[in-house]
Amino acid sequence: MIMMRRLDQYLKNRNGHWYYLRRVPEAFAEVDVRTFSKVSLKTASLEVARARRDAMVEADNLYWASLLEHNPAANGFKKSPALQRYRGAKKRALARGYVFTPVAELVDTAGIDEILDRIVEISKHPHTKKGEAEAMLGTAEPAAVPMSEAFEIYCDQIALSDLLGKSDEQKASWKKVKLRAVSNFIAVTGDLPMDKITRRHAQEFREWWGERLKPKGNKRALNPNSANRDIGNMRSLFQAFWDYEGEPDRPNPFNKMRFGGTVYKDIPAFSDDWVRSKILAPGAFKRLNVQAQLIVYALIETGCRPSEIANIQPDCIILDHDVPHLKIRDQKDRKLKSRSSVRDIPLLGVSLAAMKCAPNGFPHYSDKGALLSSALLKAFRMNGLFPSQDHRVYSLRHSLEKRMLEADLDYGLRCLLMGHHDRRPQYGDGGSLEFRRDQMMKIVHPFSPEIFEKLSAT
Q: Does any domain span residue 127? A: yes
Same domain, 26 and 53: yes
Q: Does any domain span residue 366? A: yes
Same domain, 111 and 192: no
pLDDT at 397 over 90: yes
Q: With 0-12 CB in 10 A as exposed, 13-18 as middle and 19+ as buried, what is 72? A: exposed
Q: Does any domain span residue 264? A: no
Same domain, 22 and 113: yes
Residue 1: what pLDDT? 37
Q: Does any domain span residue 457? A: no
Same domain, 123 and 200: no
Q: Does any domain span residue 340? A: yes
CATH code at 419?
1.10.443.10
Count structural domains, the chain: 3
Same domain, 187 and 92: no
Phi, psi (rounded to 5 degrees) for 428: 75, -165
Same domain, 132 and 182: no
The one-letter amino acid code at 429 reads D
Mean pLDDT of 142-150: 81
Same domain, 277 and 165: no
Confidence of residue 393 (pLDDT cuts 50, 70, 90): very high
| CA atoms of 204 and 201, how far apart (whole Å) | 5
Same domain, 396 and 436: yes
Same domain, 158 and 84: no
CA of 202: how far to CAs of 182, 196, 252, 256, 448, in Å? 12, 11, 9, 10, 58
Nearest to 157 by CA among 333, 334, 3: 3
Same domain, 110 and 158: no
Q: Does any domain span residue 4? A: no
Q: Does any domain span residue 217? A: yes
Same domain, 302 and 234: no
DSSP states of 126-153 as a string?
Answer: GGGHHHHHHHHS--SPP---BHHHHHHH
Full residue range of the structural domain in which residue 169 is found: 147-244
Mean pLDDT of 303-319: 93
Judge contact between 296 and 376, C-beta under 8 A.
yes
Specify the DSSP element, H or E, that contains 20: strand 17-23
pLDDT at 87 over 70: no
Q: Does any domain span residue 430? A: yes
Same domain, 154 and 123: no
Confidence of residue 172 (pLDDT cuts 50, 70, 90): confident
Residue 141: what pLDDT? 66
Confidence of residue 263 (pLDDT cuts 50, 70, 90): low
Mean pLDDT of 18-33: 76
Confidence of residue 75 (pLDDT cuts 50, 70, 90): very low
Both ends of the chain: CA-CA distance in Å?
Answer: 37
Q: Summarize the chain as % helix, strand, coil (round to 5).
A: 50, 5, 40
